[in-house]
Amino acid sequence: MIVILISGRGSNMQALLDAGLPVSAVISNVAGAKGLDVAAARGVPTRVVEHKRFATREAFDAALAAAIDEFRPRLVALAGFMRVLTPGFVARYRGRLLNIHPSLLPEFPGLHTHERALRAGAKRHGCTVHFVTADLDHGPIVIQAALPVREDDTPETLAARVLRQEHVIYPRAVRWFLDGKLVIEGGRVRVEGEKAGKDAQMVVAAD
């Protein structure tokens, strides 16, 4: 049902597995990624498609797509997958490619989001699950979690609290997707069956 793409630790992958979601395979672009061991220990098939073995992004993405399609997933979930995907790849999985990003998009797309939030003096920070489009970190937003930035936060303490929320919102978004509840209309995502006014798509954490 779901193929998860990772590059490293795989804690978001683990949160999806812990939620009991039907994961068909985990694929990494990095051999030896820690998440691969976690997946294998749970009996989930794993594959490695190393980007560095390919001369172009297009060639890598074609090999990655071939590995994914072997499992015929309904959903491809990026979970700490640190490669920019080609427009062709994104188009192939249009509407069934989700990502988790450690900021409140559209603020702080790209890397080093926690450092940048602190440097900007942001009073709140968070994470976002969104559909992937060719525009990096800019696709339709499914759900966000926000939390207050503390005066004594470091990038590490802030990252740890944001990560806790990532593990809350990603399984929720994936469940909605598999239940067929996510509707994209004019670039916005609505969750079918959720009561208006009860904002399921915005988690506000106290800490």
By annotation, the residues acting in catalysis are: 101
Q: Which residues contact 183 (CB under 8 A, 6 or more apart)?
A: 189, 190, 191, 192
Judge whether 102 and 69 are in contact, CB under 8 Å: no
Tokens representing residue 152 in the block: 């004594």
Q: How far is the CB of 185 from ligand GRF (least distance, A)?
A: 26
Pick from 180, 181, 155, 1: which is nearest to 73 by CA? 1
By CB under 6 A, how many residues form the interface with ligand GRF? 13
Q: How far is the CB of 129 from ligand GRF (least distance, A)?
A: 9
Question: Does 8 interact with ligand GRF (rule: CB under 6 A)?
Answer: yes
Q: Which is nearer to ligand GRF, 68 or 98 (CB)?
A: 98
Q: Tell me which residues in 95-134 interact with ligand GRF (CB under 6 A).
A: 100-102
Question: Does 79 interact with ligand GRF (rule: CB under 6 A)?
Answer: yes
| Long-range contacts formed by 117-120: CB under 8 A, 24+ apart | 117/149, 117/158, 118/149, 118/153, 118/154, 118/155, 118/158
Question: Does 19 interact with ligand GRF (rule: CB under 6 A)?
Answer: no
Residues that bind ligand GRF (CB under 6 A): 6, 8-12, 79-80, 100-102, 163, 166
